[in-house]
């Protein structure tokens, strides 16, 4: 059960790292991203496809570029991650209640 969550978090981390590279280096191609991140080409390609489906990036002849939606997504990201972290914290059952 937790293994699947860990895999999803790892994949989200990769997607966000790829998105950050596009934001900072646009246009940028798969080979450069793979070389700089150490992720295999097929994983970078998958992340790019997911980001494109979410309309966060767009392909161009020179490589991936951001879209009009990217800035809004990034602005909301930290808040959403904090909400998820807070929810996960409430799920802990191994901690003793504070006195």
pTM, full prediction: 0.86
3 lies in which domain range? 1-90
Residue 98 falls inside a structural domain: no
Say whether the peptide bond before residue 27 is cis (omega within 30 degrees of 0): yes
Residue 23 falls inside a structural domain: yes
CB 41 within 8 A of CB 73: no
Residue 95 falls inside a structural domain: no
Alpha-carbon gap, residue 4 to 97, rounded angstroms = 28
If one counts the domains in the chain, the total is: 1
Domain with residue 53: its CATH number is 1.10.10.10
Residue 10 falls inside a structural domain: yes
DSSP state of 97: P
Q: In this predicted structure, what is the pLDDT of residue 93?
A: 86
Within 8 A by CB and 6+ apart from 33, the residues are 18, 21, 39, 44
Residue 25 falls inside a structural domain: yes
Reported as a single tens digit per residue, the pLDDT across 34-70 is 999 999 999 999 999 999 999 999 999 999 999 999 9
Residue 74 falls inside a structural domain: yes
């Amino acid at each position: 059960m937790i293994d699947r969550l860990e895999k999803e978090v790892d994949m989200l981390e990769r997607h966000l790292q790829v998105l950050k590279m596009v934001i900072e280096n646009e246009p940028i191609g798969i080979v450069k991203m793979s070389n700089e991140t150490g992720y295999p080409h097929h994983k970078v390609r998958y992340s790019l496809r997911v980001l494109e489906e979410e309309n966060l990036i767009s392909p161009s002849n020179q490589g991936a570029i951001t879209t009009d939606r990217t800035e809004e997504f990034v602005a909301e990201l930290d808040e959403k991650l904090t909400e998820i972290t807070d929810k996960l914290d409430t799920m802990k059952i191994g901690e003793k209640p504070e006195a």
